[in-house]
Amino acid sequence: MSASPKTKKATFLPFIQENSSALALVGLTVLFGGANPRFFTLSNLFNILDLVSLLMITGSAMSFVLMTGSIDLSVEGVVGLSGVIASFLVKNLSNSNDFGYFALVVCLGVGLLFGLLNGAIFSKLRIPSFMTTLGIGYITNGIGVLLTKGNPVVISDWGFRQLGVGRIGFVPNTFIIGSLLLVIMWFVHERTFFGRYILAIGGDEAIARDLGIKVERIKVGVFGLAGALYGIVGALLTAKLGSGDITAPRGFTFDSIAASVLGGVAITGGIGSVPKALIGALILTILRNGMILMGISPYVQQGVIGAILIFTVALTLDRAKIPVLK
C-alpha cells in the first residue's frame, strides 16, 4: 500500500529543512558550472580550495561561539596581530629572527590568550559578548599597528611560506591543515562532554545551570579555542601573503559569521555542527567565485551576499528565544 501524498510531504519536508544548506551548495555548484565552463576547471577548483581554507577554520571557530548563543567580533584583530607576530619571528627583512615553524606555536598561544581574555571578561564581568569582543578586536588591532607602524613586515622564510602557498598535488597545504583542524573540532564537538555542553548552553542556559554544567567555564573554553584557531589562521595568512599586515584579515569577521549562518548554525544558539560550518564556508566561497566568473560587479556581489544572509537568518532565527527584538 503506497503512502499518501500528505505522508510523503510530511516525510520529505524535514529532510529539506535539515539538509537545506547542503542542497543550496549543490544548487550553486550546478548553477555556476552550467553558466560558465571554467567553473569546473582544475585551476578554478584549486582556487576554490585555496580560498575556502582559512574561512573554514575561522567559520568553525565562530560556529562554536554562536552555538553558545554568543558572538565574536575580535576575529580580524586577533588574526591580524597573530600574523604580525609571526612575521617578526620567522626570517624577515626587519630583524634577524629565524624561529621558523615555532612561530606557528607562538601564534596559537597569542590567539589562545586573547580568546581566554574574551571569555573571562564576557562571562565573569557579564559584559555582552559583542561589546567584549569588539573591544578586544580594537585592542589587538592597535597593538598590531604599534608593532608595525602601519607597514607590512615582509618575510623571507621560504620554508614557512610553504605553509601558505605550497600544495600536495593540486590540494593547497592550507586546505590540508584546515581539514585536519576541522576533524579535531568535529571530534571535540561530537565526542566530548565539552561539545555537548556547548549546545546545552545555547539551547537553554538556565536549564544547563540546573543540570550542573559549569556555564562560565565552558564559555571561557569556547572563546579560548576560537582564539587559538584565529592565531593559527593569522600565521597561515602571513605565510600565504608573504608579509605580516594588520589590515590583511579585513572582512574575516563578517565572512566567519556569514559562513556559520549560511551553513545552518543558529545565531540564537543551540543548533549547529562543524560540518554545517564547512558547508557554509563552501557556499560563501563558491558564491563569490561563481559571481566573479560571471563578471558580476564586486558591489553587486556584496549586495547579493548581504541579502542572502538576511534571508537565511530570517528563516532560521528562533524568535521564541528573543521575546523582544532590539
Question: How much is the pLDDT for 14?
Answer: 64
Tell me the per-residue pLDDT of 251-288, one tens digit each, with 9 for 90 and over: 999 999 999 999 989 888 888 999 999 999 999 999 99
**Is residue 14 situated within a structural domain?**
no
**Is residue 111 situated within a structural domain?**
yes
**Is residue 266 situated within a structural domain?**
yes
Summarize the chain as % helix, strand, coil (round to 5). Answer: 75, 5, 20
Provide the domain limits for residue 195.
Answer: 31-315
Question: How much is the pLDDT for 326?
Answer: 46
**Rounded CA separation 125/52 (Å):** 36
CATH number where 79 lies = 1.10.3470
**Is residue 10 situated within a structural domain?**
no
Contact predicate 251/51, CB 8 Å:
no
Phi and psi at 168, nearest 5°, equal -115, 110
**Is residue 24 situated within a structural domain?**
no
Question: How much is the pLDDT for 65?
Answer: 97
Q: Residue-wise pLDDT tens for the chain (326 aa)? A: 455 555 555 555 565 666 778 888 999 999 999 999 999 999 999 999 999 999 999 999 999 999 999 999 999 999 999 999 999 999 999 999 999 999 999 999 999 999 999 999 999 899 999 999 999 999 999 999 999 998 999 999 999 999 999 999 889 999 999 999 999 999 999 999 999 999 999 999 999 999 999 999 999 999 999 999 999 999 999 999 999 999 999 999 999 999 999 998 988 888 899 999 999 999 999 999 999 999 999 889 989 999 988 888 776 665 566 554 44
Closest CA to 284 of 23, 87, 110, 24: 24
Number of domains, the chain:
1
**Is residue 186 situated within a structural domain?**
yes
Written as nine digits, the cell of 281 is: 564556508
- Other beta carbons within 10 Å of 214: 13
**Rounded CA separation 119/85 (Å):** 22
Question: How much is the pLDDT for 9?
Answer: 52
Per-position DSSP letters for 138-177, written without gaps between them: HHHHHHHHHHHTTS-EEB--HHHHHHHH-EETTEEHHHHH
**Is residue 222 situated within a structural domain?**
yes
Phi and psi at 194, nearest 5°, equal -55, -45
